[in-house]
Amino acid sequence: MLLAGDIGGTNTRLGLFDRLPDRPRLIAMRVFSTLAYRDLSAIIAAFASDENVKGAKVEAACFGVAGPVAGDTAEITNVGWHVDARQVAKAFDIPRVRLLNDLQAMAQAIPVLRASEVHVLQEGAAEAAGNIALIAAGTGLGEAWLHDVDGRFFPSASEGGHADFAARTEREIDVLRDLIQRFGHAEVESVISGPGLVNLHRVTHVAPCGAENDPAAISSAALERRCAGCIEALELFVDAYGAEAGNLALRSLATGGVFVGGGIAPKILPAVADGRFMRAFCDKSPRFREMLSKIPVKVILDDEAGLLGASVCAAGLA
């Protein structure tokens, strides 16, 4: 059996998987409120007490964590947890335990995703030996890519969400100025994330509309066409998201495809799929527009993609 985890600042998902040749099969899964537990070991102990998990012999475990990983240890950015893979292995008698950045873990799922688990924004034509890129907006913004090396994909993590925000229009320059005035710096995560949508809402409203501190409320008001300022905020968000996805495609030469993960894109899929995202994606130097127009671009619909990716990693360890 395999133990996989997707450790986020808000929720932690743990899953027990059966190792199969093509893709690990989920046996049992639970979602935990991360901050309700003192550390990862406490969550694993709670999961191990589940009736569907009791007595399972775990061969290997992998945990995707929302924070930087250094060897066998990691710091969970928004929680204050320190995670040590060696301590987890010893405490639960697991022969092999690995920690990955959460986007690096999600990237592991991409080669085994099914057609029903993605929504195609651009069909494109994937190059057989092309790299694959992943961008995912949620509470923060994550980026990763899979390098194709002799037909095998090797995922690499990054902290690209904390790179500088690149404004492309006069309105985005307004956003840039507001972010610099308030925070002293404008990073791309301050625009493309749940809190980023709130920041955009601040710029597009001269008076409160009742949704200003709630990304879900802003999105709903925009999708239902109830508030002009919310509509503009969501349009700015989708434009910036598409543009950054295009930037990532260029930086990683992702001719094998670009995948859009995270919790936000599936929830605002009508806004992402109406053409705005792909126009921003392709709106680069004329020398590269043809290349970008041929890259497959897909939204990951599966909420458990990070957990699945961690299980793929665990299968490799086993």
Q: Which domains does the chain have, with CATH numbers?
A: 2-108+304-317 (3.30.420.40), 114-301 (3.40.367.20)
Single out the residue of 115, 117, 60, 64 nearest to residue 89, CA to CA: 60
Pairing of strands 82-84, 73-75: antiparallel
Q: Across-strand partners of 12?
A: 7, 32
d(CA 167, CA 186): 10
222 burial (CB, 10 Å; 0-12 / 13-18 / 19+) is: buried
Is residue 199 within 8 A of residue 175, CB to CB? The reply is: yes
Summarised one tens digit per residue, pLDDT across range 274-308 is: 999 999 999 999 999 999 999 999 999 998 999 99
The closest alpha carbon to 204, from 166, 226, 235, 181, belongs to 235
Contact 218, 252 (CB under 8 A): no
With contact defined as beta carbons under 8 Å apart, do 200 and 175 qualify?
A: yes
Instruction: Quote the pLDDT of residue 66.
Output: 83
DSSP assignment letter at 53? T
Could you tell me if 153 and 146 are in contact, meaning their C-beta atoms sit under 8 angstroms apart? yes
Structural tokens at position 106: 């999600």
In angstroms, the CA 84 to CA 73 distance is 4
Give dist(CA 287, CA 121) in Å, integer: 22
Give the 3-state secondary structure of residue 34.
helix
Reduced to 3 states (helix: H, G, I; strand: E, B; else coil), residue 97 is strand
What's the pLDDT at 233?
A: 98
Q: Which of 13, 38, 37 is nearest to 26 (CA)?
A: 13
Structure tokens at 108: 């592991």
> CA 102, CA 265: separation in Å to the nearest integer?
17
Report the pLDDT value the prediction gives residue 10, as an integer from 0 to 100: 80
Positive or negative CA dihedral for 125, 126, 130, 135? positive
Low-confidence ranges of the chain (pLDDT < 50): none
Contact assessment for residue 11 and residue 37, using Cβ atoms and an 8 Å cutoff: no
Start-to-end C-alpha separation, the chain? 9
Is residue 241 within 8 A of residue 137, CB to CB? The reply is yes
Please state, in angstroms and rounded to a whole number, the distance separating the CA atoms of residues 110 and 256.
Answer: 11
pLDDT at 303: 87
Q: Are 113 and 307 in contact (CB under 8 A)?
A: no
